[in-house]
Structure 1
Amino acid sequence: MRFVQPRTETQQAMRALHRVRESLVRDRVKTTHHMHAFLLELGISLPKGGGGY
C-alpha cells in the first residue's frame, strides 16, 4: 500500500473551485446547444462558435 500526503486546505479549496468552474462551463455549453436547437426549429440558423457573446 502506498501512503500519500493529505491534501492541504488550500489544495482542497482550489479543487472545489475547479469543480465549480467545470460545472459552469458545462452548463453554459448545454444552454447554448439548447438555444441553437430551438432556433433551428424556428428556421433560424446561426454560425457555429460562441464568439458572438
Structure 2
Amino acid sequence: MKAYVLAMAMGLLVGVLYYLLNVKSPAPPYVALVGLLGMVVGEQLIPIIKAML
C-alpha cells in the first residue's frame, strides 16, 4: 500500500512541477493512460496464465 501512496505522491509532484514550469505533457493524457492500463493488465496477465498452465 505504501508503494501506491508513494507513486501517487510522486505523480502529483511531477504534475505540479510541469504546471509551474509550464511544460506540456510528453503524451496526450488519454494515450498515456491507455498505455499505463496496458502495462498493468500485461503485468497481471502473466501470473494468471502461468497459474492456468
Q: Please give the TM-score of this superposition, normalised by the length of structure 1.
A: 0.45
Q: Which of the two has higher C-alpha Rg?
A: 1
If asked which structure has higher relative contact order (CA below 8 Å, sep 6+), I would say 1
**Normalised by the size of structure 2, how large is the TM-score?**
0.45
